[in-house]
Amino acid sequence: MSGPSLLFDRIDLTLGRTNILREVSFAVAAGRVHALVGPNGGGKSSLIKTLLGQTPHTGRLVLNWPHTPGVVGYVPQAIEFDRTLPMTVEDFMAATTQRRPAFLGRARGSAPAIHTALERVGMADKRSRRMGALSGGERQRVLLAQSLIPDPGLMVLDEPMAALDEAGVQVFENLLAAWRSAGVTVLWVEHDLEAVGRLADQVTGLNRFVLFDGPPTEVLTPDRLLTLFSTRPRTAAQTEEVTA
């Protein structure tokens, strides 16, 4: 499934008194792996929520699909489950991927796709475990698995490698390679800059504003990284601005 190109054009987002994104403009090329990096609180997750239509932003956001609009896969930041919640991995997969209401049970037709997706992330043998009993890395693999159904054309990933062990990282890298060869567009929030340097085609640095945008080899220079990750805490800067 060929992916869309994306255009963020002067995106502004203010929630309450907090100005989270200001004049954010950059483009994501179709079928490329595009990383979004920046300090904690820099607005990366907010930008993703904006892309997914979840925020009252201003500015222009364009998704240009090659043919008809396709499927958007989304891997949220790690989520917690109550240990006693009686929801198995299979139940979770069904609830997040089937159209039929989850309280009616699993749709029989969805079983093969769920099995294949769990196999791709190495979790097929743990399909009957409760979500709350999984390790953080195992839960992360299940979050990746649910994003594979149905086949996405645009994949939106919010720190998908958090909590993954080495084998889990390999699973993720295999998925990335498969998306790349299928022409899926990937927008990927990541803190691991070594992985970004190795695996992304393009990288945007975000700390409320766009700080840089280009191929990793050109923009992830030691100077840039020092500036990006040693700025004043944004809360202090914002408070001054709001009260000025």
Q: Site residues (CB under 6 A) for ligand ATP?
A: 15-16, 18, 20, 38, 40-46
Q: Which is nearer to ligand ATP, 16 or 109 (CB)?
A: 16
Q: Which is nearer to ligand ATP, 13 or 72 (CB)?
A: 13
Does a cis peptide bond (omega within 30 degrees of 0) precede residue 150? yes
Q: Which is nearer to ligand ATP, 47 or 176 (CB)?
A: 47
Q: Which is nearer to ligand ATP, 38 or 205 (CB)?
A: 38
* Least distance from ligand ATP to the Cβ atom of residue 41, Å: 4
* Least distance from ligand ATP to the Cβ atom of residue 46, Å: 3
* Least distance from ligand ATP to the Cβ atom of residue 75, Å: 13
Q: Which is nearer to ligand ATP, 22 or 130 (CB)?
A: 22
* Least distance from ligand ATP to the Cβ atom of residue 10, Å: 18
* Least distance from ligand ATP to the Cβ atom of residue 127, Å: 29
C-alpha separations of 229 from 19, 20, 31, 226 in Å = 19, 17, 29, 6
Single-letter amino acid code for the residue at 152: P
